[in-house]
Amino acid sequence: MQAKPLALTILDIVSVIALGVSAYLALVFAPTELVMGDVQRVFYFHIGTAWTALLGFILAAVFSVIFLITRDLKWDRLQVAAIEVSLVFFFITIVLGSIWARPAWNTWWTWDPRLTTAAVTELIYVAYFMLRQGIDDPDRRARFGAVYALVGGISAPITFFAIRLFRTIHPVVIGGANAEAQGGFNMTADMRVAFFFALFAFTVIFVDLFWNRIRLGDLQNQVEQLKLTVTM
Amino acid sequence: MANKSNALVDQSMNADVHARSKETIRPSATFLKAVSAVVWKDLQAEFRSRELFSAMLVFSLLIILIFNFALELDVKTRQSVTAGVLWATFAFAGTLGLNRSMAIEKDRGCLDGLLLAPVDRSAIYFGKVISNLAFMLIVEIIVLPVYSVLYNTNLFQPGLLLVILLGSIGYVAVGTLLSAMSVQTRTRDILLPILLFPVVIPVLLAAVKASSGFLTGSELADVLLPINLLIAYDIIFIAVAFMVFDSVVEE
């Protein structure tokens, strides 16, 4: 077994510190929003997790294409890592959004395009893991996973566009028309610091978890290989 | 000139060597032939057993019956929910058909036989899509008049029929690809709807919107957007499935 790379250990520590600083900036440093009050502070982490989750899903779709062309199982492990981390991050996004929506929209949930797309996307990638679980052969599991991640990755944006045919109430925070009425707001300089630091922090955390998960996948793969040699 | 005569020589040589030279020279002809062979096989098997068709039809009628109690389909509700009831029915009945049509292939190793055939594998995909689409359309063509009679609504409008055709194409295009995957897993009986429904939501959404647009007699411009979306979805997913079907069936 290879030892844990030093860079990864450092990144682990950096991400914990980044999370701590980001929490301080969001909860203490940033000024309280005038209309919504303290609940608006959820927004920093909401965007942070959402952006990294979407990044992971897009990466996963790219990895599927590369895997289907090269048929190298390495890309499959990258894909699983990206989707697994993103699935958790996206779930956090949805929960945080709900917490914010309760006072802001007076409801936990509404069938608006972004919320619906988020729910559908989450279900697509849950289905992805259910598909993988039902297959024993690693090669076939990788192929089917790649195909489904590709189909899901194309379908999710179309879902978003399709629901856009209806009216939306999700605030377009930056530069959206009619944003004030929907719960959008303008950021002060301090808010901006907290916002961009949250984006940065969650990107670091994402990369860290992603890297750890890839390493786990590699180790799992090695264990499987060793088991095969023992039984043979 | 030289090219042409070379081609001629090649052609005559081929004719001597292979008995089926015409097919090797025109690949598009063999492709269509392979597609129609798969379709013909499916239709013939179904025509003899009628198990898939009857299951889908009875199941659809039962769903409509359940909706009758679940939604209290009185005159006022009917106007707003007819399109939704229809598409929910088609979606549920559709998974039944898709699952069965692929399970038959898997059960007795028929799929392996199909894969051994010296034709492009996408021909098998398109053959399956066309036969699945045929089953679905036949069921829909029977469900529509039954619904019209039971709920006193005229569903025979050319616009609505077009929407049903486009929606079914998109549904079957993705469904055939995913059912080819789901039958090869351990959880094959339950997996297909879980894989399929989140991915076909754009189809159902656009189809319901366009259908209810036609049923309530809205402006053409309002229905055009969902119809365009259906067409775009159909084209995108037929292309994607065409490209990846090989990796789904290879051994």
- Give the domain ranges of chain B: 50-249
Tens-digit pLDDT profile for residues B120-134: 888 999 999 999 999
More confident residue, A169 or B156: B156
B209 touches chain A (CB under 8 A): yes
Complex ipTM = 0.83
In a domain, A1, yes or no: no
Best mutation site among B106, B121, B201 for testing chain A: the one with the most A CBs within 10 Å? B201
Cβ-based burial of B76 (10 A; exposed 0-12, middle 13-18, buried ≥19): exposed
Contact flag A162-B201 (C-beta cutoff 8 Å): yes
In a domain, A218, yes or no: yes
Per-residue model confidence (pLDDT) at position B62: 93
Contact flag B184-A140 (C-beta cutoff 8 Å): yes
In a domain, A193, yes or no: no
How many A-B residue pairs are in contact by the CB < 8 A criterion? 89
Q: Which domain holds residue A87?
A: 10-28+38-184+198-231
In a domain, A33, yes or no: no
- CB contacts of A65 in chain B (<8 Å) are none
List chain A pLDDT tens, one digit each, 232 residues. 577 888 899 999 999 999 999 989 888 888 877 777 788 888 889 989 999 999 999 999 999 999 999 999 899 999 999 999 999 999 999 999 999 888 888 888 888 778 888 999 999 999 999 999 999 888 899 999 999 999 999 998 888 888 776 555 555 555 444 545 555 666 777 888 888 888 999 999 999 999 999 999 999 888 988 888 887 6
A69 touches chain B (CB under 8 A): no
Q: Residue B73's pLDDT band (boundaries 50, 70, 90)?
A: confident
Reported pTM? 0.84
**Whole-angstrom Cα distance, residue A91 to residue A68?**
28
Q: Is B13 a residue whose pLDDT tops 70?
A: no
* Dihedral-angle region of residue B217 (phi above 0 means left; psi in -120 to 50 means alpha; beta otherwise): left
Instruction: Give Cα A186 to chain centroid, integer Å.
Output: 25
Beta-carbon contacts of B159 under 8 Å, excluding residues fewer than 6 positions away, are B210, B214, B223
Per-residue model confidence (pLDDT) at position A1: 57
More confident residue, B172 or A159: B172
Contact flag B244-A150 (C-beta cutoff 8 Å): yes
In a domain, A144, yes or no: yes
B109 touches chain A (CB under 8 A): no
Per-residue model confidence (pLDDT) at position A195: 86
Alpha carbon of A196 to those of A26, A48, A193, A201, B238: distances in Å? 10, 9, 5, 9, 41
Mean pLDDT over each residue of chain B, to the nearest integer = 84
Give how many domains chain A has, as a whole number. Answer: 1
